[in-house]
Amino acid sequence: MNLTVWQRRIFDAAMQSHAQGRLGHALLLSGPASMGKRQVAEAIAQRLLCSSPRSDGFACGACRSCQLFPAQQVGLAVTQAHPDLQRIGLEPNEKGDKLRTEISVDQVRRLGQWFSLTPQLGGAQVALIDPADLMNSSSANALLKTLEEPASNRFLLLVTSRPGRLPATIRSRCQKLEFRLPSNDESLEFLAAEGLRGPEALAALSAARGNPGQAAAWMRDGILQLRGEVIDSLNAVGSGRTGPVETAQRWLADENAELRLRFAAELAVEGAASAFQRPLAGRSVLTVPGDFSSISKWFDSMNRTREQLKAPLRNDLVLAGLLREWRTMFETGR
Ligand SMILES: [Zn+2]
d(CA 63, ligand 1 centre) in Å? 4
pLDDT tops 60 at residue 202: yes
Q: Which of 155, 178, 201 is the last residue of a domain?
A: 178
The answer to whether residues 64 and 148 belong to one domain is yes
pLDDT tops 50 at residue 75: no
The answer to whether residues 32 and 122 belong to one domain is yes
The answer to whether residues 169 and 77 belong to one domain is yes
- The reported pLDDT for the residue numbered 119 is 92
Q: How many domains does the chain have?
A: 2
The answer to whether residues 16 and 147 belong to one domain is yes
Residue 157 has a CB neighbour count (10 Å cut-off) of: 26
- The mean pLDDT value of the chain amounts to 89
d(CA 48, ligand 1 centre) in Å? 9
The answer to whether residues 52 and 130 belong to one domain is yes
pLDDT in tens, 22-59: 999 999 999 999 999 999 999 999 999 999 999 989 99
Q: Which of 144, 160, 178 is the last residue of a domain?
A: 178
How large is the average pLDDT for residues 175-182?
96
- The reported pLDDT for the residue numbered 76 is 39
pLDDT tops 80 at residue 79: no
Q: Omega of the bond prior to 131 within 30 degrees of 0, cis? A: yes
- The reported pLDDT for the residue numbered 71 is 65
- The reported pLDDT for the residue numbered 78 is 43
- Say if 157 falls within a structural domain: yes
The answer to whether residues 27 and 156 belong to one domain is yes
- Say if 48 falls within a structural domain: yes
* pLDDT band, very low/low/confident/very high, at 125 (cuts 50, 70, 90): very high
d(CA 74, ligand 1 centre) in Å? 23
d(CA 110, ligand 1 centre) in Å? 27
d(CA 151, ligand 1 centre) in Å? 22
d(CA 223, ligand 1 centre) in Å? 39
The answer to whether residues 232 and 172 belong to one domain is no
140-154, 239-253, 274-288, 297-311: segment of lowest average pLDDT? 274-288
Query: What is the signed CA dihedral for 57, 63, 64, 67, rounded to 10 degrees?
Result: 80
- The reported pLDDT for the residue numbered 291 is 77
Full domain range(s) for residue 10: 5-178
d(CA 125, ligand 1 centre) in Å? 14
- Say if 195 falls within a structural domain: no
Report the C-alpha gap between 128 and 277 in whole angstroms: 44
- Say if 212 falls within a structural domain: no
CATH for 254: 1.20.272
Task: Look at residues 53, 41, 55 and name the one whose alpha carbon lies nearest to residue 85.
Answer: 41
Please list all protein residues whose beta carbon sits less than 5 angstroms from ligand 1, which is an ion. Answer: 50, 59-60, 63, 66
pLDDT in tens, 143-166: 999 998 888 899 999 999 999 999
CATH for 166: 3.40.50.300
d(CA 84, ligand 1 centre) in Å? 13
d(CA 49, ligand 1 centre) in Å? 7
Report the C-alpha gap between 156 and 25 in whole angstroms: 6
How large is the average pLDDT for residues 304-311?
88
pLDDT in tens, 133-146: 999 999 999 999 99
- Say if 186 falls within a structural domain: no
- The reported pLDDT for the residue numbered 192 is 94
How large is the average pLDDT for residues 180-188?
94
pLDDT in tens, 217-262: 988 888 888 988 999 999 999 999 999 999 999 999 988 999 999 9
- The reported pLDDT for the residue numbered 333 is 60
pTM above 0.85, yes or no: no
d(CA 180, ligand 1 centre) in Å? 29
d(CA 186, ligand 1 centre) in Å? 30
Task: Look at residues 255, 267, 318, 316 and name the one whose alpha carbon lies nearest to residue 295.
Answer: 267
d(CA 11, ligand 1 centre) in Å? 16
The answer to whether residues 15 and 103 belong to one domain is yes
Cα separations in angstroms, 247 against 99, 236, 308: 32, 9, 18
- Say if 201 falls within a structural domain: no
The answer to whether residues 108 and 13 belong to one domain is yes
* Cβ-based burial of 279 (10 A; exposed 0-12, middle 13-18, buried ≥19): exposed
- Say if 198 falls within a structural domain: no
d(CA 52, ligand 1 centre) in Å? 5
The answer to whether residues 35 and 153 belong to one domain is yes
- Say if 135 falls within a structural domain: yes
- The reported pLDDT for the residue numbered 209 is 87
The answer to whether residues 161 and 232 belong to one domain is no
pLDDT in tens, 204-216: 898 888 999 999 9
Q: Which of 178, 206, 240 is the last residue of a domain?
A: 178
